[in-house]
Amino acid sequence: MVPVASFTATKVRWMKDNEPENMARVAAIALPHDWLMWQIIGAGGTPGAARDLSALATDRSDASGTAYFNSVSGEYDAELFELAAGSGSFERITLPRVLAPAEPAGRTPWGALVGPGAGDNAGAALGLGAAAGDIILSVGTSGVVSAVSATQVCDVTGNVAGFASASGDFLPLVCTINASRILDVACRMLGKSYDELADLALSAEPGAGGLVLVPYFEGERTPNRPDTTATLHGMTLTNTTPANIARAAIEALLCSLADGVDALRELGVDVQRLLLIGGGAQSPATRSLAPTVFGLPVTVPAAGEYVADGAARQAAWTLLGGDTPPVWPLAGAEVFEAEAQPIVREQYAAVRDLV
Global confidence as pTM: 0.92
Residue 4: pLDDT band with limits 50, 70, 90: confident
pLDDT in tens, 291-323: 999 999 999 999 899 999 999 999 999 999 999
Residue 195 has pLDDT above 80, yes or no: yes
Query: What pLDDT shows up at residue 47?
Result: 54
Catalytic residues: 120
State what percent of residues in the chain have pLDDT above 70: 98
Residue 229 has pLDDT above 60, yes or no: yes
Residue 43: pLDDT band with limits 50, 70, 90: confident
d(CA 204, CA 328) in angstroms, rounded, equals: 40
Query: What pLDDT shows up at residue 51?
Result: 79
Residue 50: pLDDT band with limits 50, 70, 90: low
Residue 45: pLDDT band with limits 50, 70, 90: low
Residue 5: pLDDT band with limits 50, 70, 90: confident
